Structure 1
Amino acid sequence: MPNTSTPPVRYGLTVPLRGVPLSQHGDLYAQMSDLGYTDAWTGEAAGYDGFTPLALAAAQAPRLRLGTAVLPVHTRGPALLAMTAASLAEAAPGRFVLGLGSSGPPFVSRINGIPFTEPYKRVRDTVRFVRAALAGEYVSGHFDSFDIEGFALPNPPDRPVPIILGALRPGMIRLAARETDGLAANFLTPGDLGEVVRILWDEAAAGPRPGPKEVFVRLFVCPTRDAEYARRLGRGMLAGILNARTYSAFHDWLGRGEELAACHRHWAAGNAAAAAAAIPEALVDALLIHGDPDHCREQVRRYVDQGAGTVALALLPAPEYGPGAAGVSAMIKALAPGSLFGR
């Protein structure tokens, strides 16, 4: 299905940039703006939190739009989440997007000691609470997954804060269409994105929030001509991802259960190396963008053609570029959007 978002496509990077301390990001944020990148997006798993890199960018790059894709709803209380989002929205007025999602047991339970219960309800209830709080409402009462005695932000944002959901399968995609401003996705092929977007648009057209929806996609990019290097890197990254409950179920839904059966068997047996080796080469190439920068941009275009309105590249190290801030800066320049994305 063709992209219907207003051109030009938003073209950003995932931050923090790998291999560069946060204290050295200021010049890189400025470089991003000068080269035509429009956005900086974080995630949140077991490394950096999702807000601190964006707070730095808010001060150091006033032209960049900032977003979280995504923050787990279990690991912060609803009021704390609303307070932090409101603070960042105040620091970057009109240019912050709040992305929320369920995450999964590895992050919620295993390293944070928080029960991972009723993720759909928790996401839905958190969206409802945070949207009301950011709009300046007094919120109290019973939600299916928590109770609130009473909360109101003393200084709610002057402008609406868009909320999007990390959504991969039909239930969460439909929730995103009905109750939020869009969705975020990653670790999927262009064809997979087309199916996700079809469900989003169909549900949005019939739902209570029928306006335009943000379709955000994080794309992992290794700008190298050394395909074997990229595939080794990709296999090492994808083995854990494709065996995580959320992404395993997603790719089963997409019809890859048999294709990934050997990978799952090896992973369950505790053999991560064999699990990585069992990922089909064609799937590695489909989920990890690699090649020279022009080829990488053309691969990004395939996602745009399937409905992505915002793409954020997650840069992986490539042998053609040096280490540290200088190497990352060279990659940022090499992959700059240029005329391909209307920048």
Structure 2
Amino acid sequence: MPLSGVPLREQRELIRALPDLGYTDVWSAEADGADAFTPLTLAAEWAPTLRLGTAIVPAFTRGPALLAQSAATLASLAPGRFALGIGTSSDVIVERWNGIPFVEPYKRVRDLLDFLRRAFTGEKVTGEWDSFSVQGFRLAEAPEPAPPVLVAALRPGMLTLAGRHGDGAIVNWLTSADVKAVAPHVRDYGKPGAEIVARIFVLPDVPADEARAIARRAIAAYLNVPVYRAFHEWLGRTELTPMWRAWASGDRAGALAAIPDSVVDALVLHGPAESVREQVRAYVEAGVTTPVLAPLGGSAARVIESLAP
């Protein structure tokens, strides 16, 4: 949330209906729309049984103390029902839009994770990390319980950090088959029970040609970002090489046309609602703990109802 196509101020009834439909969680993001915390604050009041999560808050765009304050505030509004997801975000969001150098993102996430662990205990924190320093910060009210901290991760280094030092990983833009390549880095080298949250893009009950056209635009927009390209290269998705070449040459139309239907259909779930539900279950069977539905278009209310568990 916020759900697409409806102003946030008008989403109360949609959010209140989620538990009765079988939904357990709502998750927010932070890019060029709403911030990550305000929608979840509203959800905490509108539907007080839902679990709340950020997927994700960029590690660079708030100072460490401010991020700890924001997270602690929401954790106090929803005790035991809030999970903080942090991640590197991208050079576009961090550097181009916020004027903050996007330098050594792995270290920034690693350092922030360590700081948050200490801050959530309520202790006074003073320390020098590779990516920032903090002198004498203490949360006036430490959250009880402390929220789990999940790390957005794509490749082995960050996935292992998420499982070993975080409470789990948030993954994005992967197929259900890809989960088998990702999960061992989180659980075999980290905590066996670490959570894996997957953001899964869905377009139920949309004609195939229309769904694929929408999906191609989204895939091209994301998978040409360097971090996502590197992720899919690591996964061995060589069939995307023609798209990357066309995009790099400035041929946007050619890049869209070069994305194979097989990749489109695996990354953006479409077809009849029951088929989409089955495809979501495949992620869970592969090792995803929390499947988070991300509609790419259409009426949010219709998608919520059609894909209700």
With normalisation by structure 2, the TM-score equals 0.98
1:226 corresponds to which of 191, 199, 207: 207
Q: Does 1:63 align with 2:55?
A: no
Deviation digits for residues 152-195 of structure 1 (CA, Å, limit 9, x no counterpart): 00101111210100011000011111101000001101111111
Question: Aligned partner of 1:90: which letter?
Answer: S
The CA distance in 1 between the partners of 2:177 and 2:224, in whole Å, is 21
Equivalence for 2:148:
162
Question: Which is worse superposed, 42-51 or 104-113?
Answer: 42-51
Q: What do you get for the CA RMSD once the two structures are aligned? A: 1.1
Partner of 2:290: 310
Q: In the TM superposition, what is the alpha-carbon distance from 1:70 to its structure 2 partner? A: 1.1
SS in 2 for 1:298: helix
| 2:307 matched residue in structure 1 | 335
Please say if 1:245 is aligned against 2:226.
Answer: yes
Per-residue displacement from partner, 1:310-335 (whole Å, max 9, x unpaired)?
011011324xxxxxxxx422321111
Give aligned-pair identity as a percent.
50
Aligned partner of 2:67: which letter? L
Deviation sequence 1:127-162 (CA, Å, 0-9, x none): 010111112121102111111111000101111210
Work out whether residues 203 and 269 of structure 2, in 8 Å CA contact, stay in contact via their aligned partners in 1.
yes
Distance in 2 separating the partners of 1:55 and 1:248: 34
Corresponding residue to 1:288 among 268, 276, 286: 268
Within 2, Cα distance between the matches of 1:163 and 1:64? 18
Do the aligned partners of 2:75 and 2:146 also contact (CA within 8 Å) in 1? no
After TM superposition, the structure 1 = structure 2 runs for residues 318-329 of structure 1, keeping only pairs within 5 Å, are 318=298, 327-329=299-301
CA distance in 1, matches of 2:164, 2:78: 27
What amino acid maps onto 2:187 in structure 1? W
Question: 1:103 pairs with 69, 76, 89, which one?
Answer: 89
Cα 1:81–1:196 shift into 2, 3 Å:
same
* 1:128 counterpart (109, 114, 121): 114
Q: Secondary structure at the match of 2:239?
A: coil
Summarize deviations over 1:187-220 as a string: whole Å, max 9, x none: 101111111101211102xxxxx36211100111
Higher relative contact order (CA 8 A, sep 6+): 1
Could you tell me which of 263, 274, 279 is aligned with 2:254?
Answer: 274
Distance 1:317 1:202 in 2: 36
Partner amino acid, structure 2, of 1:241: Y
Equivalent AA in structure 2 for residue 246 of structure 1:
V
Q: How many pairs align?
A: 309
Q: Which runs of 5+ in 1 are unaligned?
A: 1-14, 205-209, 319-326, 338-343
Whether 1:183 and 2:169 are equivalent positions in the alignment is: yes
Task: Kindly provide the CA deviation profile for residues 43-77 of structure 1, in whole angstroms up to 9, marking residues without a partner as x.
Answer: 11122211111111011110110000111101100
Work out the CA distance in 2 between the residues paired with 1:59 and 1:262. 48
SS at match of 1:220: strand
Q: 2:13 is matched with which residue: 18, 27, 35?
A: 27
Distance 2:120 2:192 in 1: 20
1:247-262 aligned within 5 A: 247-256=228-237, 258-262=238-242
State how far apart, in whole Å, the 1-side matches of 2:205 and 2:250 are: 31
- 1:45, 1:254 → 2: CA distance? 25
**Cα distance, 1:225 vs. partner?**
4.7
